[in-house]
Amino acid sequence: MVFLVLCTLNARALELASDTPVTPLVSYAEFFEDTDGNVSLEQAIQAHQTGLFRPFAIEDVSQGISDSAFWIRIELENNSSKPIPWVAFHRYGFTQTADMYIFDAEEEDKGIVEYLVVYSVTEDTPFSERPLRFRTIAVPGILGAHERQAVYIRQGVNYANTQHLAWSIGPRLAYEQYVADNRSVHFFFYGIMAAFIIVSAMTAIRSQSLLLGLYSAYLFFGSLSWAELAGHLAEMLFPENPSISTEISNFSMFITGGLMFELGRRFLRLNKNMPMVDRIFQVATGLCLAGIVTAYMGLGAISTVIMYSLVLFLGVFPVIGILIWRKGFGYVRWFVAGLCIHAITLVMLGLAGGGLLEHAVIYYWISQFVLVLEAAVFGLALAERVVDSKQRSREEERAWREAQRHADTDALTNLPNRRKFEQRLGNHLKSAEGARNTHLAILDIDEFSDVNSKWGHQAGDAVLCELAHLLQDSVRSHDFVARYRGSRFVMLLTETNLDSALLIIDRIREQFQANPTRWEETTDISHSFSAGVATSNMSSTAALLIDEANRALALAKQGGKNKVLTLAAA
């Protein structure tokens, strides 16, 4: 199987393993930094001849943020009897310009500087005009049998930016295999991210969840930024105008950061848990907007500084999440895990971009798959948050209903209380049927103060409960009973005439009188009640109806007690 050793340029040979003998291809590599960006090809050759180029080592790949141009010289050698087609390509999609000159090395040794082939490619060159259609800058060549070639590459940028001298060179067949494998891996990555985005977006729409909406948008713009970073956005969507891809990236990276701030602020409820920190991160969101403006104005150096400043803000998020988690908000645990993954990725990319890590290519690849892990963990955190919110909503609803029940219920008798009665009576009288066919009875236990005086208040409570149970057991499902106050109870009788209502109340009176309350297993407490009844009409109000029933009750008390009366009967 043919394979390409995907390493950055150094002095080690790059080998081709196939049916043909193993053949060294790269015999030597060296580079030279042009700090002013004005060194010509002739001057670069002279710099090589005078020893100003220095051997390429692995730590030279990442140059951090720089506005210098770099000249790279690679010496290729073919000791076989067959010509070897080769390809040199950059590993990233954000190298802005590259000029490549191919010389016969033996002619160069003789001081002849006529190049065989020259290529000049920028990241804005349409793909139809490039030597090879690939997501980054790629240039082909052919190394004849027993031939030596010197390849000069000038890599430059238009403004200070992250620079990696991450060029790979190898046989054309191995390059093609690499391209196929590379696209398969990337499309698998984009497929997973697309699934996350679609599912979260549909769920956000159905549930009208702002958090899920922010999560979906964050994944979309994060994937968009990565697609531009890798060069796929330009290759697939804007092959004839790749500069559009760069402009989109300048905006999408800042939008991604702003969405991360908003998602974190809202998920962690910083406005309630840490108001001061919340205001600081609002400033960070403002910096994201400033980054978009500077990118739009073409101030690339300033926008790069803002980008690295935002990384510091995002790196603090895990610490804040852990502090909130320790306050007892268990639902944030997975979000904190996602923030930690996010922070590690940012630190890793920042160090790689700043030239502080060797093998920077590996860290970019790792960050791509970490993004998938981060998306999954954030999704799990949001799912747990939704479950937690629903559970808390159910608990709050149960607590509200329980509080409402206690607010509407008499604690001693478990009957509805006066508040609930007045609410029920008012609502009932608003209906046409209730306004003309409702009977209100107010019952009061006779000589109840004597019961309390003679047997104690606990005995009095037992008598009240006895009458409450009797009323509950005696009324129909559409009737209503409540404890009004003290020893008084009320009844609302509907869907019946006055005579039937009086019979119901009188039957209850007789049962209450005939069944004394047993107290302390030795004493029977005899009791009775008097009741006043009022019937509603079209002009009745709750206050008028209660007043009429009270007056009828007073007449029943004055007439000897243990009676049920209406004003008309009195």
Sorting pLDDT into bands at 50, 70 and 90, what band is 122? confident
SS3 100: strand
Measure the CA–CA gap between 213 and 197, rounded to whole angstroms. 10
Q: Looking at beta carbons, which pairs linking 196-205 to residues 24 or more positions away fall under 8 Å?
A: 196/375, 196/376, 196/379, 197/223, 200/379, 200/382
Measure the CA–CA gap between 480 and 243, rounded to whole angstroms. 78
Crossing angle of helices 210-230/172-207, nearest 10°?
170
Radius of gyration, alpha carbons of the chain? 43
Q: What average pLDDT does the structure give for the chain?
A: 82
Measure the CA–CA gap between 35 and 59, rounded to whole angstroms. 19
Predicted confidence at residue 549, as pLDDT, reads 92
Residue 1 has pLDDT above 70, yes or no: no
Q: Which of 382, 336, 384, 332 is nearest to 209 (CA)?
A: 382
Residue 18 has pLDDT above 60, yes or no: no
> 416: which DSSP letter?
B
The residues, any chain, with a CB within 8 Å of residue 278's CB and separated by 6 or more, are 265, 270, 271
Cβ atoms 97, 74 nearer than 8 A: no
Q: Which of 223, 138, 219, 235 is nearest to 183 (CA)?
A: 235
Q: Which of 203, 194, 296, 197 is nearest to 251 (CA)?
A: 296
Residue 434 has pLDDT above 80, yes or no: no
The residues, any chain, with a CB within 8 Å of residue 185's CB and separated by 6 or more, are none
Q: What is the pLDDT of residues 228-271, one digit of tens each?
A: 877 888 888 888 888 888 778 778 888 988 898 898 888 888 88
Q: What is the pLDDT of residues 465-514, one digit of tens each?
A: 999 999 999 888 888 999 999 999 999 998 888 889 999 999 999 999 99
CB-based burial of residue 140 (10 Å sphere; 0-12 exposed, 13-18 middle, 19+ buried)?
A: middle
Q: Which of 153, 184, 150 is nearest to 167 (CA)?
A: 153
Predicted confidence at residue 8, as pLDDT, reads 33
CB-based burial of residue 262 (10 Å sphere; 0-12 exposed, 13-18 middle, 19+ buried)?
A: buried
Measure the CA–CA gap between 326 and 475, rounded to whole angstroms. 55
pTM given for the model? 0.62
Cβ atoms 332, 324 nearer than 8 A: yes
The predicted model gives 368-383 an average pLDDT of 84
Q: What is the pLDDT of residues 290-326, one digit of tens each?
A: 888 887 787 777 887 887 788 777 778 788 888 888 8
> 6: which DSSP letter?
-
Of 201 and 313, more confident: 201
The predicted model gives 98-106 an average pLDDT of 88
